[in-house]
Structure 1
Amino acid sequence: MLHKFKKFRKLSSEEKKLFVEAYITLGMMRTALLTISFKRLTRDLEHLSKKEKITALNDKEMSLAIRIGQAITRAAAYTPWESACLVQSLTAHTMLQKRGIPGVFYLGAAKEEESKENMKAHAWSQCGETIITGANGHEAFTVLSVFGWTGKQTV
């Protein structure tokens, strides 16, 4: 436990703030997934075609998006609840949209290697050309749905 606290203390003040925000938002998104329908959770997102062009970001927006993705990944490793890929993608959406940064998240599926009947799913978030959450192994999944949000802030 002391080791974790020392690691946290080494973070910059911005990284600490993003970590705490990510941790809290991960908890809210996990709770929301357990209590609210997915359709309702994503009602403010635009359902995009798989081939739609992703909005490019300027250097400042991209840098912040990457730091947010890192904070989400870091915080997800420390939650006592399950903070899997979908929770992380919804958290990324919430944190990025709050800052007016556009992006998309993908839902994909793949057959499990051991069984031809069982499927596994994955979600990942992307800003510009950079995947900010869920990058590991996303290539193995066939995209089923794409959800996007604009850079317009919501209240």
Structure 2
Amino acid sequence: MLRKIQQFVNLTNKEKKLFLEAYMMLGIMRAAILSVSFKRLTHSLEHQKSKGEMTPLTDDEMQTATLVGQTVTRAAAHTPWESACLVQSLTAQKMLQKRGIPGVFHLGVAKDKNVEEKMKAHAWSQCGDVILTGAKGYEEFTVISTFEWGKE
């Protein structure tokens, strides 16, 4: 516990603010997933039928997007509630949209190799060619939906 507190104290002020924002947004998104329909959660996003061209980002935007992705992933590891891939993707989307950084998040499915009739689902967010959240194992999943957000 003390090590975690020391790690937080060692962060820059910008990183501390971003971590706290991510932590709170993860809680909000988790509650929203449990209480609101998915359609309503994604009503402000553009649903893509297939993977389209990614909007190019400036170096500053890409740096911020990468930092947001890392922070969301780090904060998710410390929540007392489940902050799985969909919660992380929606959190990253909200935080990036707030900063005017465009991106997408993908929903994918795969067959569970252990149980033949069972499907697994996964969500991951992406800006440019960089996967920000949900990068681990995303290659195993076939994209069934892509949701895009642009600059506000």
TM-score, normalization: structure 1? 0.97
Counterpart residue number, 2:31: 31
Partner letter of residue 143 of structure 2?
Answer: V
Between the aligned partners of 2:14 and 2:140, the Cα distance in structure 1 is 34
**Superposition pairs of residues 17-56 of structure 1, within 5 angstroms:** 17-56=17-56
Match of 2:132 in 1: 132
Displacement after TM superposition at 1:51 (Å)? 3.1
Q: For residues 130 and 44 of structure 1, what CA distance do their matches in structure 2 show?
A: 23
Deviation track 1:95-153 (CA, whole Å, cap 9, x = no partner) reads: 0000000000000000011111001100000001110000010000000000000011x
Q: Residue 68 of structure 1 aligns with which residue? A: 68
Q: CA RMSD in A?
A: 0.6
Which contiguous aligned blocks of 4+ residues in structure 1 show a shift greater than 4 angstroms? none
Gaps of 5+ in 2: none
**Which whole-Å CA distance do the structure 2 matches of 1:77 and 1:115 have between them?**
28
Contact 2:105 2:125 in 1 (8 A): yes
Please name the residue that 2:98 is paired with: 98
Cα pair 1:56 1:129 within 8 Å, conserved: no
Residues 8 and 16, structure 1, Cα contact 8 Å, conserved in 2? yes
* Residue equivalent to 1:4: 4
SS of 1:55's equivalent in the other structure is coil
d(CA) in 1 for partners of 2:24, 2:98: 14
* Secondary structure in structure 2 of the residue aligned to 1:23: helix
Listed as ranges, the gaps of 5+ residues in structure 1 are none
1:110 maps to what in 2? 110
| TM-score using structure 2 length | 0.98
Cα displacement (A) at 1:53: 0.4
SS at match of 1:139: helix
